[in-house]
Structure 1
Amino acid sequence: MKTYKIIACILFSLMLFIGCKKDDAASQEEDNVFSPRIIGGDVPSIFPNPNTTQVLDVGEKVDFSQVQFSPTGKTTVVWKVDDVQVATGEKYIFTAAAVGDHRIKVEVSYNGTTVSRYKDVFVLAGAGATFTPKTFTKVTMSYLGENGDISAMNWSNVTHVTFKAGTVNAAGILDLSRGETGRKTQEIATKAHLNGVYALLGISATLSANGWNVYDSNTFGTALKNPVQRAAMVQDIKKYLTDRSLDGVDVLMADVGNTVEATTTANMAATILFINELRGALGAAKIITLTVPVNYTHSNYTAANLVNVDWVNVRAFESGLNTGVGRPLGNPSGYQYMVASAEIWKAKIPLSKLVIGIPAMGLRYTAVDANGNNLNFTSFNYIPYKDILALSATAFDKEKLDLTPAPLAIYYNGVPLVTQKAQYIKANNYLGAYLWQGDFDVNGPNSLTLAISNALK
């Protein structure tokens, strides 16, 4: 009997112990709120911070199966695409289907708390996909540099975009790697077409900081003067435009600044041959443009030898008058300089083939001489318009930003000057305007592209 009492006591104590443990666990969960977590796999790569967009082809998959959630087995997991629930549970594979931007989001809930992570993807259109161009009367073109940054692009403000993805290297070969990194060319072309905008490839030799060819460079010109290399480049461009669904090509200079004038003349003559051979290869359906100078070398181009271009982009900025040794500080891209540059070409070819350039960069002085003039060829640099606004939020309606010590300053084109230029372009019936570089602009009410678009309507 005594043995039974002992066993009964032991069982009763064990039950009390288990009950207390359960109560303790519940109490701990109540008293110590546990937030759900998204862990496991390569979370920083799957959900990058800062966020970067992954570019996908139709049918390509993103597998989230390696992602884990804590506390294990106790969370509620919901997957959404563009804020629409598409799945529940810990495992999910996204399959790219609809062309365009998409946001994949996972929401994890536990004990009344929800956390989330997201991943942005962009699904490309396939090669040969067609689009419907927007209706326009004037060309408003954003000319992107080699980085092809479209993060601030408002597609409603442009009719055309050109991406300077091609560079002729020292071997005379067209290097298109800038456009292939991250499938940037395809992304730009697809986004442009989704918005009814034409997308062009820009090609050049290595450019200087102000967007012109490096002085005395001859790599592009040498390649164009070689019939075999020129023919190969034509075919490379034709294939690239087809493969990447691009609507045309701009030839951004062909080494037109050389110490030996005969070299410049020969390079420009070879450029004309190149343009003509491009037209023969591409046919009438593709756009062919040429970015042209306004200095004395422009005389090498005439209406007759430019018959195969749809239009020319007139580089009507950066006069060069404010960057030499002992030159006065000032704006190299003022209103009068643009007008004079445009009228040089107005006298040569029809207005319907002239798109006038406007800069989205400023000239920043870093040192001056005893007279307050530019010190030398290394005492200035170029700064994007967006960086100028980062220095001063009120700089958008000005043309000069004073620096310390005086008289150091940045000279640039703000919204009022750009508007004035675009109004001149419209009033005088030019085909339109382009902004170099479009990457340097901002989105919103202080956008230079917006100012151009509004003035040209």
Structure 2
Amino acid sequence: MKTRYLLLALILVITFTGGVFAGVFFTTSNTSKTPSTSPNERKFGKLPKSETTPGLKAKPNLKAEQAKVLIGYVQDFRNPDVVDFSKLTYVNFSFAHPTKDGGLLLNGKMAMDNLRATVKKAHQHNTKIMLAVGGWYNIQGGESYKYFKPAITEPSSRSKLVSELESIADREQLDGIDIDFEHPHSQEDALNLSAFTRELSERLHDKHKELSIAVNAKINSNTGTESNYVVYDPSMFQYVDHVNIMAYDGQWDGTYNAANLSPYSFAEKIVNYWADLFDKNNLSKEKLVLGVPSYAQPENPAIKQMSYAAIIKDNPVNAEHDSVSLNGTTYYYNGEPTIERKTKLALDNGFGGMMLWEAGLDASGSHSITETLSAVLKSSEDHSKQQVAEAN
């Protein structure tokens, strides 16, 4: 009996000692694999996942938005001194005129002198300068369409025009070319314009120069529906850096109505149309630039348009409104609140910036459209940078 008790005691000692060594070995070899327990787990046992202390969340991958552009068209007779280059990202000098055989004309020495002066002033402010080719009228007489169309239809004349534009861009130290073909009216026109755009894009981009294109709003301001008067080949837009939407001159849609110049409701439909078109064709909406007018349209079509500068000079309070009665007629335009709303509309829909026709018609000082556009764009960029900084 005593021998049996001694044997049992020996077995218990060996078992206890082996367990201690095994426990020490297991703990040591799994220190890096077994998570430490929290005080609550030691007190109450393992907690459900929903009640454990959460780990650090991954930071959202926020990237700074691409800088928004502000493009101002400037006519060739304009004194460059009236343009506020400091607020503009691009100046589009308007216009160079195509000939039917693919040649290129400027409006004499005056236009060339102003182009060179504009290039110099623009580059002093780190503003890029583009030469716009086309426009509504041609200096040879009549609408530009009847000259531009044959120039881009025949391969030989198209190639010649591309070479002419490449040459003047190099010679005059331009940052690029802006195409303003008003307007392709058929599928044939659209395909020829696309071919011209592709060829010019290849030549300019090879030299690190840019290419933009001005386009019709494609919305009838009177009916609010898509206009079939102008036809574009959507694939063309892959070749350009910016698409400048001429979201104005709606007064000519149907029966003349000056109030349809460029109201906010018109801009909404235009923005929706172009945003949807670019989404459907997998194109970057950052290329889209919404245009606004810097002139006022008279209710009486027999009276000339009035510059925004003249509207503000008459009374700075006019900046708060979109219409004013002057000289016995009512003029319609875009005041500061509407310009601000349009800019936010464009940005909210992913557009890359804003454009105005024409910088030389703008007022100076705090009530200028350029100033208003610039302020809203800068505020948006500052907000984007702040979000990125907070996320990082």
TM-score, length-scaled by structure 1 = 0.60
Q: Note closer, same or farther for the CA distance 1:321–1:185 as it changes in structure 2 (3 Å cut).
A: closer
Contact 1:139–1:159 (CA under 8 A) maintained in structure 2: yes
Higher relative contact order (CA 8 A, sep 6+): 2
Please state if 1:289 is matched with 2:182. no
Q: Note closer, same or farther for the CA distance 1:198–1:246 as it changes in structure 2 (3 Å cut).
A: same
Partners of 2:349 and 2:251 in 1: CA distance: 26
Q: Note closer, same or farther for the CA distance 1:175–1:182 as it changes in structure 2 (3 Å cut).
A: closer
Q: CA shift at 1:161, angstroms? A: 1.0
Question: What secondary structure sits across from 2:235 in the alignment?
Answer: coil
Please state if 1:456 is matched with 2:384. no
Q: CA shift at 1:178, angstroms? A: 5.3
Partners of 1:179 and 1:355 in 2: CA distance: 32
Please state if 1:398 is matched with 2:327. no
Aligned partner (choices 308, 311, 334) of residue 263 of structure 2: 334
Q: Note closer, same or farther for the CA distance 1:157–1:363 as it changes in structure 2 (3 Å cut).
A: same
Contact 1:389–1:395 (CA under 8 A) maintained in structure 2: yes
Q: Note closer, same or farther for the CA distance 1:150–1:351 as it changes in structure 2 (3 Å cut).
A: same
The one-letter code sitting in structure 1 at the alignment partner of 2:152 is: L
Partners of 2:374 and 2:215 in 1: CA distance: 22
Aligned partner (choices 161, 165, 190) of residue 95 of structure 2: 165
Contact 2:93–2:115 (CA under 8 A) maintained in structure 1: yes
State the partner residue of 1:412. Answer: 333
Partners of 2:303 and 2:254 in 1: CA distance: 7
Q: Note closer, same or farther for the CA distance 1:450–1:159 as it changes in structure 2 (3 Å cut).
A: same
Partners of 1:138 and 1:354 in 2: CA distance: 10
Partners of 1:151 and 1:384 in 2: CA distance: 17
Please state if 1:347 is matched with 2:309. no
Please state if 1:432 is matched with 2:353. yes
State the partner residue of 2:9. Answer: none
Q: Note closer, same or farther for the CA distance 1:216–1:304 as it changes in structure 2 (3 Å cut).
A: closer
The one-letter code sitting in structure 1 at the alignment partner of 2:241 is: D
Partners of 1:190 and 1:216 in 2: CA distance: 28
Contact 2:289–2:351 (CA under 8 A) maintained in structure 1: yes
Partners of 2:272 and 2:342 in 1: CA distance: 13
State the partner residue of 1:389. Answer: 312
Partners of 2:274 and 2:212 in 1: CA distance: 15
Q: Note closer, same or farther for the CA distance 1:443–1:216 as it changes in structure 2 (3 Å cut).
A: closer
Q: CA shift at 1:318, angstroms? A: 1.9
Contact 1:333–1:413 (CA under 8 A) maintained in structure 2: yes
State the partner residue of 2:195. Answer: 273
State the partner residue of 1:196. Answer: 126
Contact 1:361–1:440 (CA under 8 A) maintained in structure 2: yes
Q: CA shift at 1:176, angstroms? A: 2.1
Partners of 2:124 and 2:153 in 1: CA distance: 38
Q: Note closer, same or farther for the CA distance 1:418–1:384 as it changes in structure 2 (3 Å cut).
A: same
Q: CA shift at 1:304, angstroms? A: 2.4
State the partner residue of 1:138. Answer: 68
Please state if 1:242 is matched with 2:170. yes
Q: Note closer, same or farther for the CA distance 1:179–1:139 as it changes in structure 2 (3 Å cut).
A: farther
Please state if 1:251 is matched with 2:179. yes
Contact 2:294–2:308 (CA under 8 A) maintained in structure 1: yes
Indicate the structure with greater strand content. 1
Task: After superposition, give the CA deviation of every residue in 1:364-397 in whole Å (9 maximum; x if it has no partner).
Answer: 133xxxxxxxxxxx53532221122233343222
Q: Note closer, same or farther for the CA distance 1:401–1:331 as it changes in structure 2 (3 Å cut).
A: farther
Unaligned runs of 5+ in 1: 1-134, 367-377
State the partner residue of 1:86. Answer: none
Q: Note closer, same or farther for the CA distance 1:424–1:411 as it changes in structure 2 (3 Å cut).
A: same
Partners of 1:216 and 1:244 in 2: CA distance: 23
Task: After superposition, give the CA deviation of every residue in 1:163-196 in whole Å (9 maximum; x if it has no partner).
Answer: 1130224665321235764621121112111111
Unaligned runs of 5+ in 2: 1-64, 219-226, 279-283, 379-392
How many residue pairs get matched? 298
Map 1:93-112 to 2 at 5 A: none
State the partner residue of 1:441. Answer: 362
Q: Note closer, same or farther for the CA distance 1:178–1:336 as it changes in structure 2 (3 Å cut).
A: farther
Q: Note closer, same or farther for the CA distance 1:382–1:299 as it changes in structure 2 (3 Å cut).
A: closer
Partners of 1:242 and 1:404 in 2: CA distance: 47
Partners of 1:171 and 1:136 in 2: CA distance: 39
Indicate the structure with greater helix content. 2
Q: Note closer, same or farther for the CA distance 1:161–1:400 as it changes in structure 2 (3 Å cut).
A: same
The one-letter code sitting in structure 2 at the alignment partner of 1:167 is: H
Q: Note closer, same or farther for the CA distance 1:328–1:357 as it changes in structure 2 (3 Å cut).
A: closer
% identity of equivalent residues: 21
Partners of 1:335 and 1:172 in 2: CA distance: 39
Q: CA shift at 1:270, angstroms? A: 1.2
Q: Note closer, same or farther for the CA distance 1:306–1:391 as it changes in structure 2 (3 Å cut).
A: same
Q: Note closer, same or farther for the CA distance 1:196–1:183 as it changes in structure 2 (3 Å cut).
A: same
State the partner residue of 2:243. Answer: 312
Q: CA shift at 1:329, angstroms? A: 4.8
State the partner residue of 1:20. Answer: none
TM-score, length-scaled by structure 2 = 0.69
Contact 1:422–1:455 (CA under 8 A) maintained in structure 2: yes
Partners of 2:144 and 2:85 in 1: CA distance: 37
Q: Note closer, same or farther for the CA distance 1:386–1:423 as it changes in structure 2 (3 Å cut).
A: same
Contact 1:216–1:255 (CA under 8 A) maintained in structure 2: no
Q: Rg bigger for which structure? A: 2
